[in-house]
């Protein structure tokens, strides 16, 4: 038995040292073994707590002593309970909340108090023929669960963007060792140059606020035994006006900022801009070098028979908290034929499309014609010479020479090819008239002729 070896050489410093290591390392030596499932135990104030422990001893018929002691920074070290041979001896000063059921060494604390937070040591000693002991340490953390956190926004009435700062403070009525975390629209909010957290994270300082800070903020408070989340809070931030625009029925719009309406037709205009609080809207008419306030409110209705032929209108928006304003202007043209203008505009477009289409077709045809002519110069007319006798040509020639005046050149012309230059009597170049031409194509020796078929009336 290992134990015997130690006992035999008792007095030796080496063995005493080994014994120490043995106890520290596995909490056992010789006949006593202590096992604990966990060295860190979380306690909740007001509830009961167990410090579970198992131990074994090697031999029977011995005296067994179980001792629990407690150490903390605030209260120092103290004895809690002792059990000798199944007899429990609670400490008279501290023992009333601590108990165990020997030979079971598990310590029960009921109820747990905050001051129970600290280090616990169990020591089991057996004494019979030989003496042996072992001890283990456990850590207990005692906490109060966190209640639902509450967030306060300061200033409560709201903050003007780019001017004011805002502070959000998170508080919990209950909870110990609370850690705070901030969420913006459900996502963790990182610190930035505009978002500063206090050292304990209980406070979020926004300096200065902007429109983007108008979100739902929640504070998460947690400790090692619980987590609780506040209701979302959206600080009131005054901003704007932004994105000012004027809308009307699309059919009245001619171009950006210009509307046309037929005389007598009613027309409305709606002015909108993003702002908090809602803007104050006012409308002005600028005509004949005069600006006149005409309406208040976001929608302007115009009875077109009562207004000038052409006038500029202005929508002004004003945020009475931020003190910022914006304005936009548009032109309203009144015409007897307000609707016709539209129609004209579209019919003009229509005819433009037709003209362009026709022109393109024409160009395409001409191009096609030239391409075909380049590629297949003889294809269409090659057959012609076989159907005509040379006398035809001569007669035609004569006709054209006789009827010199170009007025008589009127008629239908044919474009023919003559296969062999030799078969056809060449005409001196000076005798060629404007209508009668001979074209020579050197490589294939083909002669093209143009014949005028003068109408019978001549
Ligand atoms: C103690 O021993 C029992 C039986 O051997 C076992 O069921 C239990 O889980 C052990 N408890 C601890 C704290 O080790
Ligand atoms: C403890 O119990 C053992 C046997 O279970 C017995 O031998 C011993 O005498 C007891 N000691 C005391 C102090 O009662
Ligand atoms: C010791 O006591 C505790 C609580 O009283 C119990 O949960 C545990 O099972 C007991 N252990 C043994 C080994 O009986
Ligand atoms: C949060 O705290 C409230 C009391 O303030 C409590 O009723 C609730 O159960 C807690 N929620 C959680 C998840 O602990
Ligand atoms: C906002 O906080 C800044 C410092 O971060 C300070 O200089 C400024 O005066 C504060 N503005 C208001 C309106 O309190
Ligand atoms: C905050 O959340 C509520 C409900 O989820 C939602 O209706 C509201 O628009 C949110 N507020 C902001 C500023 O995002
Ligand atoms: C409009 O007023 C300006 C000065 O306010 C003046 O110079 C201009 O001549 C006026 N135009 C007309 C058309 O009255
Ligand atoms: C500012 O404008 C809002 C909305 O138009 C209005 O309800 C409020 O009375 C105005 N406040 C002041 C101080 O003019």
Q: In terms of domains, do 179 and 230 share one?
A: yes
Q: In terms of domains, do 33 and 76 share one?
A: yes
Closest Cα to atom 12, ligand 5: which residue? Answer: 164
Among 138, 166, 186, where does a domain finish?
138
Q: What share of the chain is helix, strand, coil (3-state, %, to 5)?
A: 20, 45, 35
Residue 252 sits in a domain whose CATH number is 2.60.40.10
Structural domain for 97, as ranges: 28-138
Q: Are strands 131-143 and 40-44 parallel, antiparallel or unpaired?
A: parallel
Q: In terms of domains, do 100 and 169 share one?
A: no
Among 193, 220, 235, where does a domain finish?
235
Q: In terms of domains, do 279 and 319 share one?
A: yes
The answer as to whether 18 is a domain residue is no
Q: In terms of domains, do 63 and 158 share one?
A: no
Q: Using CA atoms, how far apart are residues 221 and 175, in angstroms rounded to an integer? A: 9
The answer as to whether 128 is a domain residue is yes
Closest Cα to atom 8, ligand 1: which residue? Answer: 54
Euclidean distance between the first and the last CA atom of the chain, given in angstroms as a whole number: 151
Q: In terms of domains, do 341 and 331 share one?
A: no
The answer as to whether 6 is a domain residue is no
The answer as to whether 310 is a domain residue is yes
The answer as to whether 2 is a domain residue is no
* β-sheet bridge partners, residue 217: 184, 233
Q: In terms of domains, do 331 and 341 share one?
A: no
Q: How far is the CA of 298 from the centre of ligand 8 (A)?
A: 14
Binding site membership of 106 for ligand 3 (Cβ less than 6 Å):
yes
The answer as to whether 382 is a domain residue is no
Q: In terms of domains, do 122 and 158 share one?
A: no
Q: State the DSSP H helix or E strand holding residue 35, giving kind and residue range, or none if neither.
A: strand 32-35
* Count of domains for the chain: 5
Q: What ligand 2 atom has the least distance to the C-alpha of 85?
A: 1
Q: In terms of domains, do 183 and 210 share one?
A: yes
Strands, E, within 73-231: which ranges? 76-84, 87-90, 98-99, 107-109, 118-127, 131-143, 150-154, 159-160, 166-171, 179-184, 187-188, 195-197, 203-206, 217-223, 226-229
Q: How far is the CA of 264 from the centre of ligand 3 (A)?
A: 96
The answer as to whether 270 is a domain residue is yes
Ligand 8: list residues with CB < 6 Å: 277-278, 280, 320
The answer as to whether 254 is a domain residue is yes
Binding site membership of 232 for ligand 6 (Cβ less than 6 Å):
yes
Pocket mutation for ligand 5, best pick of 159, 160, 192, 208 (most atoms within 8 Å of C-beta): 208
Among 202, 235, 268, where does a domain finish?
235
Q: Are strands 63-72 and 76-84 parallel, antiparallel or unpaired?
A: antiparallel
Per-residue pLDDT of the chain (458 residues; tens, 9 = 90+): 334 333 333 334 444 444 444 444 444 445 789 999 999 999 999 999 999 999 988 777 678 999 999 999 888 899 999 999 888 888 887 778 998 998 899 999 999 999 999 999 999 998 877 888 899 999 999 999 999 999 999 898 899 999 999 999 999 999 999 999 999 999 999 999 999 999 999 999 999 999 999 999 999 999 999 999 999 999 999 998 999 999 999 989 888 889 998 888 889 999 999 999 999 999 999 887 888 999 999 999 988 777 888 889 999 999 999 999 999 999 999 876 545 555 555 666 777 777 788 888 888 878 888 888 887 655 444 444 455 565 655 665 565 445 544 444 454 544 444 444 444 444 444 444 433 344 433 444 444 444 434 444 43
């Amino acid at each position: 038995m290992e134990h015997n070896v130690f006992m035999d050489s008792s007095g030796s410093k080496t063995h005493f040292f080994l014994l120490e290591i043995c106890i520290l390392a596995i909490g056992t030596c010789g006949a006593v073994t202590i096992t604990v499932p966990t060295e860190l135990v979380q306690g909740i104030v007001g509830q009961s707590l167990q410090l579970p422990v198992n131990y074994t001893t090697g031999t029977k018929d011995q005296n067994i002593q179980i001792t629990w002691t407690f150490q903390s920074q605030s209260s120092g070290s103290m004895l809690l309970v002792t059990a000798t041979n199944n007899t429990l001896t609670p400490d008279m000063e501290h023992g009333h909340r601590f108990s165990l059921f020997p030979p079971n060494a598990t310590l029960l604390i009921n109820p747990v108090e905050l001051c129970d937070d600290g280090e616990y040591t169990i020591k089991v000693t057996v004494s019979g023929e030989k003496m042996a002991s072992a001890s283990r340490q456990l850590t207990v953390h005692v906490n109060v669960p966190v209640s639902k956190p509450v967030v306060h926004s300061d200033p409560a009435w709201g903050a003007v963007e780019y001017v004011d700062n805002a502070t959000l403070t998170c508080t919990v009525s209950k909870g110990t060792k609370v850690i705070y975390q901030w969420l913006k629209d459900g996502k963790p909010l990182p610190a930035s140059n505009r978002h500063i957290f206090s050292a304990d994270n209980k406070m979020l300082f926004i300096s200065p606020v902007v429109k983007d800070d108008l979100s739902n903020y929640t504070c998460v408070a947690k400790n090692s035994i619980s987590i609780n989340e506040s209701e979302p809070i959206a600080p009131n931030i005054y901003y704007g006006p932004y994105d000012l625009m004027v809308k009307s029925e699309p059919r009245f719009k001619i171009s950006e900022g210009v509307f046309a309406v037929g005389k007598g037709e009613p027309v409305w205009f709606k002015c909108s801009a993003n702002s908090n609080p809602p803007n104050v809207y006012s409308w002005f008419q600028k005509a004949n070098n005069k600006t006149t306030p005409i309406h208040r409110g976001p929608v302007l209705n115009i009875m077109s028979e009562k207004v000038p032929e052409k006038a500029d209108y202005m929508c002004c928006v004003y945020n009475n908290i931020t003190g910022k304003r914006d304005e936009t202007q548009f032109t309203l043209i009144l015409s007897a034929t307000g609707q016709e203008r539209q129609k004209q505009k579209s019919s003009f477009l229509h005819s433009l499309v037709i003209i362009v289409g026709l022109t393109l077709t024409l160009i395409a045809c001409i191009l096609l014609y030239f391409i075909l002519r380049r590629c297949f110069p003889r294809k269409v007319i090659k057959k012609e010479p076989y159907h005509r006798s040379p006398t035809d040509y001569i007669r035609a020639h004569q006709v054209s020479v006789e009827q010199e005046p170009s007025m008589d050149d009127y008629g239908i012309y044919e474009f023919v090819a003559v296969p062999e230059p030799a078969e056809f009597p060449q005409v001196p170049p000076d005798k060629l008239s404007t209508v009668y031409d001979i074209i020579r194509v050197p490589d294939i020796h083909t002669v093209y002729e143009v014949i005028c078929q003068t109408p019978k009336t001549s």
